[in-house]
Amino acid sequence: MLLLTRAIGPLATNVHLLADERSREAVAIDTAIPSLAWIADELAARGWTLRLIISTHGHWDHVGDNAAVAEHTGAPIAVHPADRDRLLHPKPLFAPFEIPPSVPAVELAEGGVIRFGSLRLEVLHTPGHTEGSVCLLAPGDGLLLSGDTLFAGGWGRVDLPGGSPDQMVESIGRLRGLPDPLRVLPGHGRETTIGRERAWMELVAEQGRLFA
């Protein structure tokens, strides 16, 4: 797997490009505004063809350039159906610019598998930050793209529209079952591993609640 990551936009969203080295097929994950120019430049420079635009959830800082990237590349947009309306009718939530609507064409369902070239991403439905939040697991590459569910040192906010502390507890409990060496690339901030986060994840699961 070839991986490029860049922090983009006012909330420094981690925008990811993943590609299969042999087929040159790629996916873009969480296309924040303004990521179009960076994505287009990288695709052109490396001879990659974008096959899919994935939104790990529907908050504005993860979907703002969906429509622009889709128009430029022809790639369809994928999101969990529970967050579909957030793309169709985006809520700015104090965004410093307008968030264009985008139309998802692919549903990210629990247990689904995204294949491009020889690579595969397994869809894990991990609600808590929003109803339709997902993580993407690449077991063959030892990688988890965790969106705004799991961060280095904590979890995503549960006080925004669509948030649920109880669902976040369940999702964290599920992710703690993944292997310690697994690299975690979150939607914001630095990468980590499941092993580095395990102590607090175990505490959340054992107590059945989030803690301050």
Global pTM exceeds 0.85: yes
| Band of pLDDT at residue 117, cut at 50, 70 and 90 | confident
Nearest to 79 by CA among 103, 51, 50: 103
Contact 190, 180 (CB under 8 A): no
Residue 92, pLDDT above cutoff 90: no
| Band of pLDDT at residue 94, cut at 50, 70 and 90 | confident
Q: Across the strands, what pairs with 143? A: 138, 183
| Band of pLDDT at residue 183, cut at 50, 70 and 90 | very high
pLDDT for res 128: 98
| Band of pLDDT at residue 93, cut at 50, 70 and 90 | confident
pLDDT for res 142: 97
Q: What is the mean pLDDT of residues 140-148?
A: 97
Residue 120: φ, ψ to 5°: -145, 140
Q: What is the mean pLDDT of residues 171-189?
A: 98
Nearest to 83 by CA among 99, 65, 104: 104
Domains assigned to the chain = 2-207 (3.60.15.10)
Q: What is the mean pLDDT of residues 176-189?
A: 98
| Full strand arrangement of the beta sheet holding 49-54 | 2-8, 13-19, 25-29, 49-54, 77-79, 106-107
Count Cα neighbours of 121 within 13 Å in the Cβ-side half-sphere: 28
* Average pLDDT score over the chain: 97
Give the pair of three-digit tokens for residue 76: 């369809």
With H, G, I as helix, E, B as strand and everything else as coil, classify residue 53.
strand
Nearest to 17 by CA among 87, 82, 65: 65
Helix axes 66-73, 36-46, angle to 10 degrees: 30
Residue 47: φ, ψ to 5°: 70, 30
